[in-house]
Amino acid sequence: MPSRSLVVVSGGLSQPSSTRLLADRLTEAAVADLAARGIDTVVEVVELRPLAHDVVDMTLTGYARPELAAAQSALAGADGVVAVSPVYAASYAGLFKSFVDVLDPQALRATPVLLGATGGTVRHSLALEHALRPLFAYLQADVVPTTVFAATDDWADAGTEQVSPLPARIRRAAGELAARVAAREPVARGGIYDGVPSFEEMLGGA
């Protein structure tokens, strides 16, 4: 069975996180759709909360610590990406944006990306179109048409499609991602930092 890699970026700041919950639901649906197409999927999850200090350090120094470098390499080698951020003050979370800022500008070029967001009320839902989509368009990612926003109330009835459209929207967006991932040739594996010594290694002889 052919395989593809799917990298999931969850920008949730709390534990447990509704952002991670939405990311997991989107991923499960995409994996199921790809399996129906005869494609196996290797999933890697990048939680931004544990990387917060590393992201700040790279912003200030230009060097990525090993955990952050691994996340960057995973994205650069992904066949598809699920990216989900909480919404604060009508836009993506600061940590989510800071993580994007330290990515190689070419890392997501032409990569299929499914965007999701979470927030307290549906008033935040337009952040997907006026904030997140333009951000990934700048990175030249191949963003699928359907985005998924989940407000707090959506989770209460998420299992009943007659009450909440969230499950159907998740399936539609995941199907769009799976179709684009399946249509592309697999990305050649290999990290962006392969062969480059770490900051600690360079300082080892000092």
| pLDDT tens for each residue of 121-173 | 888 888 999 999 999 999 999 999 999 999 988 877 655 555 568 999 999 99
In which region does residue 38 sit, left (phi positive, over 0), alpha (psi from -120 to 50) or beta (all else)?
A: left
For residues 81 and 31, give the distance between their C-alpha atoms in angstroms, rounded to a whole number. 12
Average pLDDT for 72-98: 96
The structure tokens 């998740």 sit at: 170
C-alpha distances out from residue 123 to 77, 98, 145, 150, 151, Å: 35, 24, 20, 11, 9
This prediction's pTM: 0.87
Maximum pairwise Cα distance, the chain: 65
Please, which pLDDT band fits residue 193 given cuts at 50, 70 and 90? Answer: very low
Average pLDDT of the chain, as a whole number? 89
Lowest mean pLDDT among 72-81, 154-163, 197-206: 197-206
Tell me what pLDDT residue 201 has: 54
- 40 pLDDT above the threshold of 90: yes
Would you state the structure tokens that stand for residue 139, as one six-digit string?
A: 């990175």
Tell me what pLDDT residue 157 has: 60
